[in-house]
Amino acid sequence: MRHGTYLLLLGVALMTDLTAQNLAPGTATPEAMATAEFNGMVDKYFDEYFHFHPSQGTAAGFHQYDNELEDYSQKSRDAELSFLLEQKQGAGYAQGEFLNQEQRIDLKLISNAINSRILELQEIRMWQKNPNLYSARATSSIFELMSRNFAPPAERLKSVIAREQKIPANLVSARANLKDPPQVYTEIAIRQLPGIIGFFQKDVPEAFKDVTDPQLLMQFKASNEKVIAELQRYQDFLKNDLLPVSKGDYRLGPELYRKKLLYDDMVEIPLDRLLQVGYDDLHKNQAELKRVAAQIDPSKTPEQVLAMLEEDHPKPDQLLQSFRGTFDSLIGFIQDKKIITIYDPETKGFKDISFEIVEQKTGVAKDNPLVEGKKLPAVDKEKKTVTIYSGRQKLYAVITLPDEYLDRPPSTWDAGDEVRIYYKEPGKALRLMNISKTDIFKK
């Protein structure tokens, strides 16, 4: 697993044994040895970090974590903190002078990510202040399994069941963890919960309506109903027990805020200067809002124009369905028109090219005979086809393109996660992204 993925979430692991990297001391350059150690320790960190944050592992495309769920118990929190403090000891990295510039930047981000998470667990303590943390995580952990077709629906449903079975324990932990939260935090969580409950009542079953295994569906019904019932109990707890005692302060204070800015965003600007920058930007945006509002309707104030625009916004109970309708129409447009947007390095602009899908298969693992041992992407000029494969999406596709694009090198057609082809760097390979039924508009 390479260290580029989710870079800001990286941490430092202890030095790995050089023999594990197949580099014996004295037989490789210091730079090669440092790189091997660096990559090894970052990979080791990922394995441990995603153990504590499995939903982020799923989001990053590492599906060995799909059956796991974040554990908000005191025991798990203590274990993560112990892990982070251990990793912080390795942040000095003895071979740092032999790393290249990119790795040194990564190392700085790694150190900041560790410090940020420690700051959160020990001092900011949102796990103690924010009741929405627990109910929102229940939703997002399941949504990650619903929103991407990285495996057949039945396989993903098994992971949904496994995670749903762990959600009630987190809601129990929430009751134990929450201490004097800010009133506004509790109010927001209460307002969010009807939609979260509706998500499990309607959207999750809808996402897996094509699953036909009766035993699996029975298991899902049981786990899903349990989650709904526990969320309703949690809603009652927030309203009746927590809200009356929610008198905490949501403000971090200048010192914690300064640390958070430093670790999360590498911002070292003094807070008084940063505040002035914010006010300057606010005034600029207010002036622009006034200008645009006058163009829309000169007879109305900016506030009246905003109210008018809100009338076109879907109602809260129609928002998800409205999104689905828009999403489906965009997907249909791409499929009907059979176009891909590419960046043309010669004209330095974007243009559309047409394509046709000859063959497409989902749920194709890396050991599938279609891809195992084969060098993909592959261009077949005789058949005028390009074969691509995305290991993360488990998507295998054969497409045809206009003849003039078949002369491009196979690396032009690397599979990825979005819906365009672009040069990551001038003169480097183009990247073909999600030409079929995947989450092309999610990002």
Written as six digits, the tokens of 132 are 């929405």
Q: What pLDDT score does 66 carry?
A: 95
Q: In what order do the strands lie in the sheet with 339-344?
A: 349-354, 339-344, 420-421
Q: Is the whole-model pTM more than 0.75?
A: no
Q: What is the DSSP letter of 309?
A: H
pLDDT tens for residues 71-115? 999 999 999 999 999 888 765 554 667 888 888 888 888 888 899
Look at residue 183 in the predicted model and tell me its pLDDT.
Answer: 97
Beta bridge partners of 361: 396
Angle, helices 302-310 vs 271-296, to 10°: value is: 70
Place of tokens 């076109």: 312
Pairing of strands 339-344, 356-362: unpaired
| Torsions phi, psi for 160 (to 5 deg) | -60, -45
The residues that bridge with 360 in the sheet, in sequence order, are 397
The per-residue pLDDT for 212 is 94
| DSSP-based three-state secondary structure for 336 | helix
Low-confidence ranges of the chain (pLDDT < 70): 1-27, 90-96, 327, 330-351, 392-393, 411-443
The pLDDT value given to residue 30: 82
The per-residue pLDDT for range 277-325, each reduced to its tens digit, is 999 999 999 999 999 999 999 999 999 998 888 887 777 777 777 777 7
Answer for the pair 396, 370: CB distance below 8 angstroms, yes or no.
yes
pLDDT number for residue 32: 84
Q: What is the structure's pLDDT at 286?
A: 94
DSSP 356-414: EEEEEEES--TTSTTTTT--SSEEETTTTEEEEEETTTTEEEEEE--GGGTTS-GGGGE
DSSP character at residue 210: T
pLDDT value, residue 346: 67
Q: In what order do the strands lie in the sheet with 395-400?
A: 356-362, 395-400, 385-390, 378-380
Residue 416 CB neighbours (<10 A) = 18
Long-range CB pairs of 353-359 (<8 Å, 24+ gap) are 353/401, 353/402, 353/405, 354/401, 354/402, 355/399, 355/400, 355/401, 355/435, 356/399, 356/400, 357/397, 357/398, 357/399, 357/435, 357/436, 358/385, 358/398, 358/399, 358/400, 359/396, 359/397, 359/398
Identify the pLDDT of residue 201: 96
Q: What's residue 26's pLDDT? A: 55
366 vs 369: CA distance, rounded Å: 8
Q: Which amino acid is at 410?
A: P
> How far is Cα 241 from Cα 165, in angstroms, rounded to an integer?
25
